[in-house]
Every structure is written in C-alpha cells, then in structure tokens.
Structure 1
Amino acid sequence: MSEARSTDHPGVVKAWLAFTRPKTWIIAAAPVAAALGLAWGEAGVFHPLTAFFTLTIAVLMQAVSNMQNDLGYAERKAERGNRRGLPRATTMGWISLPTARIAVRAGAVLALLNTAVLIWLGGWVFALIGLASLAAAYCYMGGPKPVAYTPFGELMVLVFFGLTAVCGTYYLQTASVSANAVLLGAALGAIASGVLAVNNFRDIEHDASIDRRTLAVVLGRSRFLIVFALLMALPYAALITIAATTPALWPTLAALASLPKALAVVKALPRREHEALNEVMFACVKLEGLYALLFAAGAAVAGFIGV
C-alpha cells in the first residue's frame, strides 16, 4: 500500500487511532499483567494502586513510542511507494507535524508524572527506568542516528518491553527481582521483538531502499526467519524452565496452550508477503496477550494454592 499523502481524511478519531495505534498497547500491558500474576504466585503479594500506575506507565510509553515512530518517519521523509505497512498519520497528512510534536511532548510529560508516582512507590531506581524508557522511545526513530536504522531494534524491544517491564513490575510489588521474573521478561520480550521482526520482514525491500539497516536487511530473509523462529521458541523454553525449577508454579504451564498460535505465526511468516504480513504482525501481538493472560492466570492459581 503506497503511503503517498492522502486527500481523503478519515476523520479525527481514526487519524488519532492511526497515530497512537492502540492495538499495539497489548505489547505494553501483557508483561505487566504476567508479572503481577508472578508476584502473587511467588510472593503472595498484590498492591492494586501500584499495579494501576505500573500499567498506565507501560501503556503511555507504548503510545509515546508509536507517536514518535510515526512522527520520525515523516520528519526524515523516509516513506517510499514500496512500503507495505499500515498508514502513518503524519505522512498521510491526517495530523500535522506541529500537532504531532505537541502530542509526543504531552505524552512524555504524562509519563514523567506517572514515573514520579512510581518513584514514590518504589524508589529512585524508577527515575532511571522512566528516563531510559523515554530516551529509548525517542531514539528508536528520532535523533541523528535512530535505532530503527540499525540491526538493534529487536534487542531494544526485548530489553524495554520484556525484561524492564516485567522486572520493574515485579520489583514494585515485591521489592525484589526473582530469576523467574527475568525468565518471564525474556519470554515476553521475545514475543514483542517478534512483532517488530514481522514489521521489518514485511518492509525489507523498502528499508533497504532507504539504507535502513534493520536486522532483516542485514541477515537476509533465510537467516532472519531462523532468528524469528528462535524468538518464538524462547517463551516456551523459559516457561518449561520456570515450571521445572519452581514446581509450585506448575499451573503456569497453562501458557503452553498458546503454542499452536506461535507455530502458526512461524509458518505464516515466509508464506505471506506485502500487506498480508500485517495480519501476521497482529497475530503476534495477540499471541503475546494470550501467553501473558494464561501465564498470569496460572500464576494466580499457584498463589491461591500456596496460600
């Protein structure tokens, strides 16, 4: 689908939905939900107010990241007719660049205010996490050398939308970080990285044409497909490790029920092309939500059994 500037405005609501992309917020909410379940399952603790502000900061960071990504592409004039992705609101002319910049800054301010609450609840370590997360959201597509133009995008997603989100949520609830929290963070970070991987695989020709050296461009199709398969396998290896090393958490094996969907995504990636890969990308988003929900439910059951 060409992203030439559109003369047909979809309306204010649809324009802002395209700009903020709420469907991807699952990537932010999933690790928080799973970590809350793990905190209850391992330590028997759940603090509702802390959980609320943890969830809101995660969603805010995802929204800011989405908006900055949209804005960054327009500012760099990086769109070409061979891009196959979803329409970007600023490139299509649905939202002006000044308005987009204001929205990004407003989102950043809200994130900082939310971070202030987390600092009050969990200590100054969350000032570093909040600032690092905002910097990552900006640096992905902003600045002179955006991460989006390097092979490190998937790694950044794994770190911030996996390890940081899970371990930070767990720490706020328990004042500690367990080995299982790290494993869970790696698991959910791998699926979130898979979402970006599908996006980059879909746009491999476009990215190469603008000298955007994503991991897909650097590795090439065949090797990148192997990396993607490994990303989809990691969550289940982590799940089995958690259950094996902490037998009391055996109910979390309920997340294995999501394995068929992971296999379906792995099979679909090389068989689809162009716009059809958008469906694969959102299937990956749904996979993360399902995995997290099943894990959280299993961990909650483990917590109640252990009470």
Structure 2
Amino acid sequence: MNSTNHSPIKDELNKNESLQIWWRLLRPHTLTASIVPVFVGTMFALTHSHINVLLFLAMLLASILIQAATNMFNEYYDFVLGLDNESSVGIGGTIVRDGISPKTVLRLALTFFAIAMLLGVYICVASSWWVAVIGIVCMLFGYLYTGGPYPIAYTPFGELFSGFFMGTVIIGISFYIQTSVLTSSVIWLSIPVAIFIGSIMLSNNIRDLDGDKENGRKTVAILLGRKNAVRLLTILFITAFSLTAAYVIAGILPIWSLLALLSGIKAVDVIRKFKGKKSSLEMMPAMAATGKTNTIYGFLIGLSLLISNYV
C-alpha cells in the first residue's frame, strides 16, 4: 500500500487502531437492526406470558452474530469484486485500509454463523425445531445479501429483504420461542420495525448512490434518483408512524406506545441532514441518524409494552 496516497475521506475515516479495527468491522451502527426486533418481539411476548430470559439472551446474541457476519460478507465480497477502496465510506475498512486478510474476514464471518447455529440448537431444544428451518433461511439470505452470483444488495430488493427478514421474521421468532404461538397481531406489530430497518438500507443506498451506480448496481435509490429516494424515505417514516398510531387505536399496541412517536424528531433530522448534500461523507450523519431513529423507536415500543404489562 502506498503510504503517500492520502485523501480527505481516507484521513477522516481511518482514525481508529488496534481492537477498534475489529469493532469497526462489525459496523456497530447497523447492529440496531438486529437488537431492536428481538427486544420488541420479546416484550410483546411478555404481554402474553412469562418470558425465558436465557432464551431472550440467546436469541439476541444469535441475531447480533448473524447481522455482524452479514456485514463481514459485505466487506469481503465488495473487496473481491473491486467495489471498495481506501476512500470508501460506510465500510469497516479492515481489508482496504487496515490490511486485514480477506480470508480472515471471511473465516470470522463463518465462525459467527457457526456460533449462531449453536445458539440456534439451544433455542430449538427449548422451543421448536421449526425455528431451525427459519433460522437457516435467515442465514442463507444474510449470505446472499452480498454473496453469491446475484447479490440482493445490488438489486432494488435489498430494502425489502432486509426489512422482512430482520424485522418481521426476527420479531416473529422472538415472540414464538417465548409463547409457542404466532398471532396476527405480532405480524402487524412487526411492519413498522421492518420499515425502519429497510429505511436503514435505503439511507445507506442514498449515501452510496454515485459509487453504486458506477459499479453497475440497480438499487432503489439509483432507479429513483437521490431526491426521489429521500422522498421515499420520508414516506416510509410517515407510514411507520401512522401504523403505530393506528395500532394504538385498534388495541394492538397499548396507549403507552404513542411514546414511540417521539422518535419522529430524529426521523425529521434524517431528512434534514440529507437535503442539499451531495458527497458520501456529507451524508454520513444522515445515515447514522437513520439507525438512531430505528433504535429510539424500537426502544420506546419495547418499553411501552413492558410498562403496559405492569400498569
């Protein structure tokens, strides 16, 4: 690597060393997409029955490991395909900036998958072996998101798949392993969370639009154009908040869940941060704010369900 080859973006991004290199590989700002669904699904289960804390922790760790492994597959395959370089924004950068072997990243991703599978065995023994089938499908799509001959992330369906599997499916599993049933209400409940998770992916694709377009991707952001993609993001936010209010009125969610509408403040901040921005580095705060919107919304929904169980 040529040490004299610097760029403002590289200097801005390449600030952390030692163990923080591995922390960045996990892309911690994206892990909210794996934590929120398990928390929400488990808290909703608490309104129906007692919960098994060990099952909750096992499900939470397995979900985080699958998300982290998916991020690593993304890092590995984008490098193999020549899509990442030292100035790429939004990546862990362990390969192109820190010199970590691509094979090491791939092995670590597979190790995370293996640990998640062991946790899955415990979850299945305590609940149902049908969970294993769904879990394997989730891991398969986690790999296919950026791996395989036709990566989902390079198509217009990335937001849909990520929202469905990380939102609806994970919430459904988290609820089922605690209650042994799957109700229509938990499916309805999962939709706003799925929308917010899909919005994280959309926000990421809006930020990376120019580079993705050059590399032949066909994401929704590219097909719509940046301005229309931001408008779509706005519509998704409004839809998620409207559904939340409708669920409270319909009795699916308790009145306390109106607290989750406070996360709309951060959602407005996301749109504001995107407006007028053109470079990937300028849009990084908007991307981070999208993840925070999901975190705040999910925490407040889960908290509202917890409160309703004891009030």
TM score, norm. by length of structure 2:
0.90
Match of 1:32, as an amino acid?
A: V
1:27 aligns with 2:33: yes
Whole-angstrom distance in 2 between the partners of 1:253 and 1:164 = 24
Whole-angstrom distance in 2 between the partners of 1:273 and 1:121 = 50
Listed one character per residue, the Cα deviations across residues 230-288 of structure 1 (whole Å, up to 9, x for unaligned) are 22122212211221111771111111121111122123223333212111111111111
Deviation at 1:142, TM superposition (A): 0.8
Q: Residue in 2 aligned with 1:97?
A: 102
Whole-angstrom distance in 1 between the partners of 2:206 and 2:276 = 12
Match of 2:301, as an amino acid?
A: F
Query: What are the equivalent positions in structure 2 for 1:158-177 lying under 5 Å apart?
Result: 158-177=163-182
Deviation at 1:176, TM superposition (A): 1.8
Listed one character per residue, the Cα deviations across residues 99-128 of structure 1 (whole Å, up to 9, x for unaligned) are 112111111111111111121122122111
Are 1:248 and 1:302, in contact at CA under 8 Å, matched by a contact in 2?
A: no
Q: What's the Cα RMSD here?
A: 2.3
Percent identity, please.
23
Q: Residue in 2 aligned with 1:241?
A: 246
Are 1:261 and 1:287, in contact at CA under 8 Å, matched by a contact in 2?
A: yes
Whole-angstrom distance in 2 between the partners of 1:189 and 1:244 = 20
Deviation at 1:87, TM superposition (A): 4.9
Match of 2:150, as an amino acid?
A: K
Deviation at 1:2, TM superposition (A): 7.7
Listed one character per residue, the Cα deviations across residues 12-39 of structure 1 (whole Å, up to 9, x for unaligned) are 3122112112232122111111122222
Match of 2:115, as an amino acid?
A: L
Match of 2:68 among 63, 67, 75: 63
- SS of the aligned residue for 1:285 comes to helix
- SS of the aligned residue for 1:141 comes to coil
Q: Residue in 2 aligned with 1:281?
A: 287
Aligned length, in residue pairs: 303
Match of 2:122 among 117, 122, 147: 117
Q: Residue in 2 aligned with 1:302?
A: 308
- SS of the aligned residue for 2:31 comes to helix
Match of 1:214 among 219, 236, 250: 219
Q: Residue in 1 aligned with 2:189?
A: 184
Whole-angstrom distance in 1 between the partners of 2:92 and 2:27 = 11
Whole-angstrom distance in 2 between the partners of 1:206 and 1:247 = 42
Match of 2:40, as an amino acid?
A: A
1:38 aligns with 2:44: yes
Listed one character per residue, the Cα deviations across residues 169-193 of structure 1 (whole Å, up to 9, x for unaligned) are 1111111223332122111111111
Whole-angstrom distance in 1 between the partners of 2:94 and 2:87 = 17
> Quick one: higher RCO (CA 8 Å, sep 6+), 1 or 2?
1
Match of 2:32, as an amino acid?
A: I
Whole-angstrom distance in 2 between the partners of 1:295 and 1:47 = 20
Structure 1 portions without partners, runs of 5+: none
Are 2:162 and 2:198, in contact at CA under 8 Å, matched by a contact in 1?
A: yes
- SS of the aligned residue for 1:67 comes to helix
Deviation at 1:10, TM superposition (A): 4.8
Query: What are the equivalent positions in structure 2 for 1:39-54 lying under 5 Å apart?
Result: 39-41=45-47, 43-54=48-59
Match of 1:253 among 254, 258, 272: 258
Match of 1:198, as an amino acid?
A: S
Deviation at 1:81, TM superposition (A): 7.6
Higher helix proportion (structure 1 or 2) = 1
Deviation at 1:94, TM superposition (A): 2.8
Match of 2:277, as an amino acid?
A: R
